[in-house]
């Protein structure tokens, strides 16, 4: 039932506004609409104000990073219709330079979600009046959910008793933790010879 309604929704939107919809897909009774970045606000407005669907609640905005894609970042909007018991996902793609229009004028809750996406991925939202970091510390370098962000980060912090304050220092690793042997403990018991194992195969002295 819901799948048919969601299909009708997507087809109706694509036919009425072909310049706004680049494609759509329905899987597991969930609709995903690929919207043109410059027209995403029009798509969100249509979904919110259409009396047949009434997607009036913005549940979240989140990002994803696909470095090999032509536009590496995907920004997804999850909407809920309380009256129709329907959910829809609208997503756009962008890169480091392309700004996504801010949805704060349509959904006030978008303010914090867009700040989180900016903080963690570096996606810029044009028209956001207070686009600052919200999860990382002041002066944080880089965007931690990008796939090319180093696992160790760029700096580490500690409390210095002499200075009686928290200090930032470049990351210093005591070992090269990126060197893995990829052998589980169970495999290691049978494939790796431990010190003393040679006694089990050495013939007894006469």
Pairwise CA distance, residues 155 & 138, whole Å = 12
Taking only the tens place, the pLDDT of each residue in 103-133 is 999 999 999 999 999 999 999 999 999 999 9
pLDDT > 90: what percent of the chain? Answer: 61
- pLDDT score for 121: 97
- pLDDT score for 29: 83
Taking only the tens place, the pLDDT of each residue in 13-34 is 998 889 999 999 998 888 999 9
């Amino acid at each position: 039932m819901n799948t048919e309604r969601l299909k009708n929704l997507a087809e109706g939107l694509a036919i009425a506004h072909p310049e706004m919809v680049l494609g759509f897909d329905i899987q597991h009774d969930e609709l995903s609409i690929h919207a043109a970045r410059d027209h995403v606000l029009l798509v969100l407005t249509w979904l919110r104000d259409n009396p047949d669907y009434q997607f009036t609640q913005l549940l979240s905005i989140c990002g994803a990073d696909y470095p090999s894609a032509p536009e590496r970042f995907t920004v997804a909007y999850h909407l809920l219709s309380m009256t129709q018991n329907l959910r829809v996902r609208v997503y756009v793609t962008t890169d480091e330079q392309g700004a996504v229009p801010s949805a704060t004028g349509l959904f006030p809750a978008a303010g914090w979600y867009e700040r989180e996406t900016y903080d963690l991925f570096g996606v810029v939202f044009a028209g956001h009046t207070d686009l600052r970091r919200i999860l990382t510390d002041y002066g944080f370098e880089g965007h931690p959910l990008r796939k090319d962000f180093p696992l160790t980060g760029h700096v580490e912090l500690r409390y210095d008793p002499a200075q009686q304050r928290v200090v930032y220092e470049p990351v210093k690793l005591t070992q090269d933790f990126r060197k893995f042997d990829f052998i589980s403990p169970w495999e290691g018991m049978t494939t790796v010879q431990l010190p003393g194992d040679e006694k089990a195969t050495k013939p007894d002295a006469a």
